[in-house]
Amino acid sequence: MSFSKILIANRGEIACRVIRTAHRLGYRTVAVYSDADAGALHVQQADEAVCIGPAPAADSYLNIAVLLQAARQTGADAVHPGYGFLSERADFAQACVDAGLVFIGPPPAAIRAMGNKALAKRRMVEAGVPCAPGYLGDEQGDERLTAEARQLGLPLLVKAVAGGGGRGMRLVRSFDELPEAIASARREASSAFGDGTLMLERLIDEGRHIEVQVFADAHGHAVHLGERDCTAQRRRQKVIEEAPSPVVDAAMRAALGRDAVAAALAVGYQGAGTVEFIVDAHLKHHFLEMNTRLQVEHPVTECITGLDLVEWQLRVARGEPLPLTQDQITFTGHAIEARLYAEDPYDGWRPQTGRVAGWQPDSTDVRIDHGIAEGGEVTPYYDAMVAKFVAHGSDREDAIRRLTRALEDVPLLGLQSNGRFLRDLVKHPQFTAAQMTTTRLDEWATQGEPLLQRPTPPDAAWRIAAALLAGQGGQRPASVSAFDLTLQCQGENRTQRAPDAAVQVLAWNGQHAQIGIDGVQCRITALQDGTRLHLCLDGAVFSFEEPSAYPKTDSAADPRRARAPVAGVVAQVSVLVGDTVVAGQPLVCVEAMKMEMWVNAAAAGSVKSVNVKPKDPVAAGAVLVELEIAE
């Protein structure tokens, strides 16, 4: 099973990650890209790159025929699927094998066995791996699912059997929520995976999400590389991962590892895989699912083991035995990974798109895996995760301290991200005390937790911004020694006197400024992007500009026009021309970056026009529906 050139059937940071190890080991690499990714970092880093179609994933990264053609065109003899997209599609793995390509992943039969989550749980029950109660049946009518849900009791999860990454999953705490949970989970699963089959699973409340990294080869050997704690989640999406888990002792680690290896052997697994467990308040673990691929959070395992998991994948794919036996695998220190998302955590995790104005990941000693670059675009077509900060320390406290500093020192500028939220989360008392649960962040969102309140610019930020912008005012007469400067930030206007005798700009290279303020010198990130000045203080980014003398009217506030909240793809249209609607009634659902957002009627009236249909791409602010407002 020799190979020399690897096509990476993915994009973004995981494509860059695979390229890095492949090049180190002497392999040539081929990137693929959609029209939206023509200038992406993974395209620049690969030896060759092939355009595979339009921006929507269904027309590019999920198009098996086009990917195989790219392999033929470039002479690639192996395919690495990364994670997401086609990485857990048995038909893709089989198509690669049939085309004479080495698939760097498990055999198609193992993907099939674990890819259907209902069938996987049945296999685990047979293998003696503990599982949470649920409904795994083939009968998929709403009536049967509702009856099974009532028998299981609340709370429960509605899950796509072909799902992954939180897609096609809905939490139900009231039976009133069940019909919409079934409908939306089925719709999202059909869109993302081409399979709307659902299963039900009793939710273990106050649980922790703990998973085990496993590896198996073609010679019958299987090992585990320890556990990862992925409990800090929002809307079933992981936010922070760490290894080892702060609640797992040696005996529990042995039990988790034993069951994870048994799960892998039960399906004839090969390569990298992750067995996920939910752990209850009594620290009893229950099988959730097995992800038949490399995980987003694999770097924390690499940090504590000193191993390169992509290298192990390539070696196993070549037919080599595992490099180490179980007793040769050791763990050192503690590692924490924080996922940087292009989203607004202070506005319901709303996805964000736009141009990257500033991004300097090489300015810290903490490992940052990413696939973005200054001047590049974050588009609505793919996952909102743009980077991963990974800190390794001698212990958990050491790792948290290193991670905190990196999040403060390496901000993403130009569009909203969750960077400051991540910094605050890893410093939160419940996180440092290892008291998080999988639903804690969602609970905080409804309780007004200060962690989820948008930071406001401190007085020092206004003064520093005024000092920097005043120094750029080349249009002002040199004879003017002092003047009033009006600035705008987060919807607030404030007038500052410039220059401020207590604020000195000692140096500014366009990215960082050395500031003297009230007798103290400090170094801060300060980037001027057109008319806007981005300042980063304590991990929070504040954007200042002088307000225009001709302010724009707020067309978004017009109740007659329902507009797209972000750029995305229309998932559902629930009204027709002529329909009567009431205020708050759902009109159109827009999907962007794995999130569905409903656009509701701002006032009562009737539908004058519907400008979109399902699967249409839409720009942010596009008029979706026009209404005649009732008198």
What does the alpha-carbon distance between residue 203 and residue 226 come to, in Å, rounded to a whole number? 25
Tokens of residue 286, six digits: 């229950």
Cβ neighbour number for residue 375 with a 10 Å cutoff: 12
What are the start-end ranges of the E strands in 165-264?
167-172, 198-202, 208-216, 222-229, 233-234, 237-238, 240-243
Strand ranges across the sheet with 580-581: 561-563, 623-629, 605-610, 580-581
Residue 255 CA, distance from chain mean position: 30
Per-residue exposure over 380-419, b if at least 16 CB sit within 10 Å of its own CB, e if not: bbbbbbbbbbbbbbeebeebbebbbbbbbbbbbbbbbbbb
Residue tagged active-site, from 293, 440, 561, 563: 293
What does the alpha-carbon distance between residue 244 and residue 5 come to, in Å, rounded to a whole number? 35
What does the alpha-carbon distance between residue 139 and residue 228 come to, in Å, rounded to a whole number? 35
- Phi/psi of residue 186, each to 5°? -65, -45
Residue 402 — left, alpha, or beta (φ > 0 → left; ψ -120 to 50 → alpha)? alpha
Task: Give the list of residues 6+ apart from residue 269 with CB closer than 8 angstroms, or none.
Answer: 106, 110, 114, 214, 216, 222, 292
What does the alpha-carbon distance between residue 24 and residue 310 come to, in Å, rounded to a whole number? 11
Asked about 28 being catalytic, the answer comes back as no
Tokens of residue 142, six digits: 């709403």
Alpha helices in 197-343 (DSSP H): 250-266, 298-305, 309-317
* Segment holding 588, helix H or strand E: strand 586-592
Residues annotated as catalytic are 293
